[in-house]
Amino acid sequence: MEVAEAVVIAIVIALIIAFVLTSGLRAELKSVQTATQANIYIKEGSFKLSNEQDIYVCKKVDRTAKPKPQQQQVQR
């Protein structure tokens, strides 16, 4: 029983590892991508904040009952 369980667990984990590693190898072949950011073109020292407010609006408390331990049945 333990062998069958270990085989199933090992197959699932090995498939995930093999997929991740080969995806990494595939990604090595792609070096062309669209630029969507311009962070490297921000003029040094130009970023200035004129207003910085963190306004507390409200709070909400959710309460969930803990599951009660089942009472042990006493055999007479």
> Between residues 5 and 74, which has the closer beta carbon with respect to another protein?
5
Cα separation of 52 and 4, whole Å? Answer: 59
> Which residue lies nearer to another protein by CB, 52 or 74?
52
Closest approach of Cβ 69 to another protein, in Å? 12
49 token code pair: 């904040």
Task: Specify the DSSP element, H or E, that contains 9.
Answer: helix 2-27
Interface residues with another protein (CB under 8 A) are 2-3, 5-7, 9-11, 13-15, 17-19, 21-22, 25-26, 28-43, 46-66
As measured in angstroms, the least distance from the Cβ of 76 to another protein is: 30
Q: How far apart (Å, rounded) are the C-alpha atoms in residues 19 and 25?
A: 10
Q: Which is nearer to another protein, 60 or 76 (CB)?
A: 60
Rounded CA-CA distance 11/4 in Å is 11
